[in-house]
Amino acid sequence: MDQRVEAYQSKMQKAYDFMMSELATIRAGRANPHVLDKVRVDYYGTPTPIQQVGNISIPEPRIIQIAPWEKSLIKEIEKAIMASDVGITPSNDGVVIRLVFPELTEERRKDLVKEVKKKGEDCKVAVRNIRRDGNDAFKKLSKTEISEDEIKKLEEELQKATDKFIKDVDAAVEEKSQDIMKV
């Protein structure tokens, strides 16, 4: 594959990876430690990822347990979870914090599927924009540098990469949607 196409393909990969990290933060009725990825705890004045101030475990399918490495952080961790968009009220026993995930209602599941599909659509738009930028850049290459046939070949390679990423996005969205709708 041509290195000019690879540059655009790596941008498409970044868009896909970003969408996958976004999908990982959407909870599907079961406890998933990735819902805490964006939560930051005030650790001596520094916003710190929750994974760096305690041990996160899943003792049961619908419970996340956070054991802070310092007891004094329990209140800070609770405050950070309450301020985040996790949507679950933490409870603590003085030693660990527990997040109990309620069973999702049918309506909430449908809303989450819509959100997943929107993130997938956003990713597909980003991939198509990258393809357009690539095609524009290829067309701007001067006629002395490259022939029209080579430009066509580059555009075809870029289109194949685009098709692959669109297919991957659709598959990921479908898998996540089915995961959410599973009761």
| 71-115 tens-digit pLDDT | 888 888 888 888 887 777 888 888 888 888 878 788 888 888 999
| Same domain flag for 16 and 44 | no
| Same domain flag for 60 and 15 | no
| Same domain flag for 63 and 111 | no
Domain carrying residue 50: 33-100
Q: What percent of the chain has pLDDT over 90?
A: 30
In angstroms, the Cα distances linking 20 to 118, 133, 143, 169, 170 are 13, 23, 39, 9, 12
> Helices 148-181 and 106-140 meet at what angle, rounded to 10?
170
pLDDT for position 183 = 60
Among 41, 68, 100, the domain-final residue is 100
| Same domain flag for 37 and 76 | yes
| Same domain flag for 116 and 172 | yes
DSSP one-letter string for 40-81:
EEEETTEEEEGGGTEEEEEEETTEEEEEESSGGGHHHHHHHH
Among 56, 72, 100, the domain-final residue is 100
Among 100, 120, 154, the domain-final residue is 100
Would you say the C-alpha torsion 59, 61, 62, 66 has a positive or negative sign? positive
| Same domain flag for 17 and 52 | no
pLDDT exceeds 70 at position 56: yes
Give the total number of structural domains in the chain. Answer: 2
| Same domain flag for 14 and 45 | no
Look up the CATH number of the domain holding residue 39.
3.30.1360.40
| Same domain flag for 39 and 79 | yes
Q: Identify the burial level of 22 via C-beta atoms within 10 angstroms of its C-beta, where 0-12 means exposed, 13-18 middle and 19 or more buried.
A: middle
| Residue whose tokens read 């409870």 | 91
| Same domain flag for 116 and 155 | yes
Q: How far apart are CA 101 and CA 14, in angstroms?
A: 31
Among candidate residues 163, 160, 135, the one with its CA nearest the CA of residue 1: 160
| Same domain flag for 177 and 109 | yes
pLDDT-derived band at 143 (thresholds 50, 70, 90) equals low
pLDDT averaged over every residue in the chain: 86
Look up the CATH number of the domain holding residue 114.
1.10.132.20
Q: Could you tell me if 5 and 154 are in contact, meaning their C-beta atoms sit under 8 angstroms apart? A: yes
Mean pLDDT, range 135-155, rounded to an integer: 83
| Same domain flag for 94 and 114 | no
| Same domain flag for 84 and 51 | yes
